[in-house]
Amino acid sequence: MCGRFALTATPDQTTAFLGLAELEEFPARYNIAPTQPVLMALAGPPREPGSNLPGRQAMLVRWGLIPAWVEDTKAFPLLINARSESVLQKASFKAAMRHRRALVPASGFYEWQQSGSAKGQPYWIRPRRGGVLAFAGLIETYAEPGGSEMDTGAIITTEANAGIAHIHDRMPVVIEERDFARWLDCRTQEPRDVLDLLKPAAPDFFEAIPVSDLVNKVANTGPEIQERGIVSPQAEKLRRQKPGTDETQMSLF
């Protein structure tokens, strides 16, 4: 799965990479977690002939997709990921796959190598070449009972490649820059036409760096969470004995 990621690129770098109009200033985000707002890009409305306006538009959405047909959001699970293998069959994602495919800009993501029942060793997983990448995303606009609307989204995952599988068996789908237009084109590209894009990245695309357990807490949002570190088994054992709430979890809203 993909439960935490980061976007540390500047607005100008992100704009150029995604082919967007100018973005408002935003800070580097080192620990993006479910239910928080995330930046996504999707195809814009049809352009007039000769128009030089960008063909894509940016949206801020809540990370955790809610299908339009949900009646009770409190009883509905938080859909932060959509499995590529079943994304066409799942009722929760069918409409978004047909009408609202998106790109999620990121600098990398975090994953935990499990160790028994413990949270395990966290890794910061980033492109070897550096820079920005784009995860495959889905957007759904949910109309609340009171009449207000909320844009929500999910990240599509696939089986881990050989470079990541020793850490976790899933990873986010990376859409290559040459495939941006095809992935976002919901007018002429049916969902079945873009399924070939929902594949693992090449085995040498990412590098995985062990980091400390600072990333476990969503309150930790500085660059220090990406510094190399090892979580000792003894520290994990002591931490599990401490009373209190689990700060790694967030509410649905």
In this prediction, residue 1 carries a pLDDT of: 73
Task: Note whether residue 251 is domain-resident.
Answer: no
Question: Looking at the domain assignment, is residue 176 inside a domain?
Answer: yes
Domain total for the chain? 1
Do the domain assignments include residue 95?
yes
Decide if pLDDT at 246 tops 90.
Answer: no
Greater pLDDT, 120 or 31: 31
Average the pLDDT over 131-149 and give the result: 93
* Parent domain of 173: 4-46+53-226
Residue 15: CB atoms within 10 Å: 18
Query: Among residues 2, 25, 140, 149, which one is catalytic?
Result: 2
Which pLDDT does position 89 carry in this prediction? 96
Task: Tell me, yes or no, if 186 is annotated catalytic.
Answer: no
Q: Which of 166, 80, 179 is nearest to 123 (CA)?
A: 166
Give residue-wise pLDDT tens across range 35-63.
999 999 999 887 767 677 778 999 999 99
Residue from 24, 25, 48, 111 carrying the catalytic annotation: 111
Q: Burial level of 127, CB count in 10 A (0-12/13-18/19+)?
A: middle
User: Is 83 a member of any domain?
Assistant: yes
In a domain, 218, yes or no: yes
Most confident option among 22-26, 53-57, 220-224: 220-224
Structural domain contains residue 235: no
- For residue 99, give the CATH number of its domain: 3.90.1680.10
Q: Using a pLDDT cut of 90, give the percent of the chain over it.
A: 78
- Is residue 232 assigned to a domain? no
